[in-house]
């Protein structure tokens, strides 16, 4: 894939994700600062607001994936930008209203922001797989070199990471400087920049599909799960996603139990996010040499080891070392999962398969924090870390061993290997 196209895909999604992440900070904070109402506590309202950012994408991911399969990249991303812009405008209008009218605008704002960002992410990942350079001239139109896919998805993984940094930082600075109204207005403008970058992504020219492929029936969501290797891949993705959610939930609890300050706990989580971004920059350099199975197996061992050691961490330095290793391991997973997913899914339903994976992640992010809260109160954070380590060893590692991988690169007609794809 040309560097300009990859840069446009990533930048457009950074703008969308930053706007959503900024609103995800702004809306609950707005409710918390206004305090309790006669109907509900501020904490309960803020919790529900946060849940809406993940609930709507969970329910609408599969229809979004089907639409992306039919329409490609540009129309879905334009719709996504429109939804997130409307979310920012609704939030801006809500800052001028009082309860309960305010919630009538904040609820659809959170729903639109989460749905639009997820739609843009599905479209970006789907189109990246289609635009990735074929392994050779004889490859099928939808085929791509696995090393090229790993490289592309590594760079694409930077978009959510950067968006999660830019959006909340910008929103926080604007709230402190001028109030919630300016922050909401800025979040409404960011998706317009996404539309500007979208125009730089070339429209896909679809080659005629072979007759057998054109006549192949579409699979239902359950049918996709029954495809060889698909259920195992999504289950493996669930293990890694659960590890990510558990770490985000337990580090504040463990840090508080160790007497760490809020800034020290934030520093541990910030180092984890830095490691996730750093490894996604490094993976494209190693994509020609590392297979999906090698990376996923190493990641599972590192995650299990870090979770075993974490309960013995007594200070910020040892916790930061665990967070750094864990971020490197979990950050390397997404490019490998996405490469394998594109190999397993039918070409005409790759968007729907990506949406199915997104549904697993959103379901995990919606339900697991509640379960972790109940178990953490009963068992304590240390035991929960060790339980997750055992699950990685007994559940994730066997799934890695049975993983259905993309076929290896074939030699070119001249007997050599195709040239490495540059960024």
Measuring CA to CA, which residue among 189, 198, 194 is closest to residue 170? 189
Contacts of 128 (CB under 8 A, 6+ apart): 1, 6, 9, 152, 153, 156
Confidence band, pLDDT 50/70/90 cuts, at residue 135 = very low
How many whole angstroms separate alpha carbon 297 and alpha carbon 13? 29
- In CATH, what is the architecture of 223-406? Up-down Bundle (1.20)
Q: Does residue 90 or residue 209 have the better pLDDT?
A: 90
Please provide the size of the chain in residues.
423
Flag the least confident range among 128-142, 233-247, 362-376.
128-142
pLDDT at 269 over 50: yes
**pLDDT tens digits for range 191-207:** 999 999 998 888 764 44
Measuring CA to CA, which residue among 142, 144, 146 is closest to residue 154? 146
**Separation of first and last alpha carbons in the chain:** 7
**pLDDT tens digits for range 39-97:** 566 666 666 777 788 777 878 888 888 888 888 889 999 999 999 999 999 999 999 88
Per the CB < 8 A criterion, the answer to whether 204 and 326 are in contact is no
Q: Does residue 80 or residue 172 have the better pLDDT?
A: 80
- In CATH, what is the architecture of 1-34+41-145+154-201? Up-down Bundle (1.20)
- Burial code (b: 16+ CB inside 10 Å, e: under 16) for 332-343 equals bbbbbbbbbbbb
Per-residue confidence (pLDDT) for residue 394, from 0 to 100: 92
pLDDT at 185 over 90: yes
Per the CB < 8 A criterion, the answer to whether 320 and 270 are in contact is no
**Helices marked H in 95-210:** 101-131, 146-156, 158-178, 180-198
Helix, strand or coil for residue 414? coil
Per the CB < 8 A criterion, the answer to whether 200 and 57 are in contact is no
The domain locations on the chain are 1-34+41-145+154-201, 223-406
In this chain, the answer to whether the domains covering 1-34+41-145+154-201 and 223-406 adopt an identical fold is yes
Confidence band, pLDDT 50/70/90 cuts, at residue 371 = low
Query: Could you write out the DSSP letters of every residue in 371-412?
Result: HHHHHHHHH-HHHHHHHHHHHIIIIIHHHHHT--PPPPPPPP
């Amino acid at each position: 894939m040309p560097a300009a196209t990859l840069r446009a895909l990533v930048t457009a999604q950074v703008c969308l994700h930053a706007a959503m992440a900024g609103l995800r900070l702004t809306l609950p904070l707005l409710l918390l600062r206004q305090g309790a109402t006669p109907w509900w506590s501020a904490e309960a309202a803020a919790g529900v607001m946060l849940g809406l950012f993940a609930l709507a994408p969970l329910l609408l991911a599969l229809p979004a994936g089907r639409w992306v399969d039919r329409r490609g990249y540009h129309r879905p991303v334009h719709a996504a930008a429109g939804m997130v812009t409307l979310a920012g405008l609704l939030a801006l209008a809500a800052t001028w209203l009082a309860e309960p009218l305010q919630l009538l605008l904040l609820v659809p704002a959170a729903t639109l922001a989460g749905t639009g960002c997820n739609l843009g992410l599905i479209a970006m990942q789907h189109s990246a797989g289609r635009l990735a350079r074929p392994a050779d001239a004889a490859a099928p139109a939808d085929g791509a070199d696995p090393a090229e896919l790993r490289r592309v998805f590594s760079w694409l993984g930077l978009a959510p990471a950067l968006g999660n940094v830019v959006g909340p930082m910008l929103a926080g600075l604007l709230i402190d400087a001028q109030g919630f109204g300016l922050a909401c207005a800025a979040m409404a403008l960011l998706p317009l920049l996404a539309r500007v970058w979208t125009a730089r992504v070339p429209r896909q020219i679809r080659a005629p599909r072979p007759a057998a492929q054109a006549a192949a029936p579409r699979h239902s969501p359950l049918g996709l799960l029954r495809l060889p290797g698909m259920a195992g891949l999504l289950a493996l993705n669930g293990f890694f996603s659960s590890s990510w959610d558990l770490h985000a939930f337990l580090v504040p609890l463990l840090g508080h139990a160790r007497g760490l300050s809020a800034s020290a706990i934030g520093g541990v989580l910030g180092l984890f996010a830095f490691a996730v971004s750093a490894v996604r920059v490094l993976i494209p350099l190693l994509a020609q040499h590392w297979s999906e199975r090698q990376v996923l197996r190493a990641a599972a061992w590192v995650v299990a080891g870090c979770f075993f050691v974490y309960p013995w961490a007594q200070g910020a330095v040892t916790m930061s070392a665990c967070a750094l290793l864990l971020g490197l391991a979990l950050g390397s997973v997404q490019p490998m999962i996405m490469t394998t997913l594109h190999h397993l899914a039918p070409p005409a339903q790759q968007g729907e398969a990506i949406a199915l994976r997104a549904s697993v992640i959103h379901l995990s992010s919606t339900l697991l924090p509640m379960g972790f809260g109940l178990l953490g109160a009963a068992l304590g954070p240390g035991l929960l870390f060790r339980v997750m380590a055992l699950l990685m060893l007994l559940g994730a590692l066997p799934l890695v061993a049975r993983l259905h991988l993309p076929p290896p690169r074939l030699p070119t007609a001249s007997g050599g290997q195709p040239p490495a794809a540059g960024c």
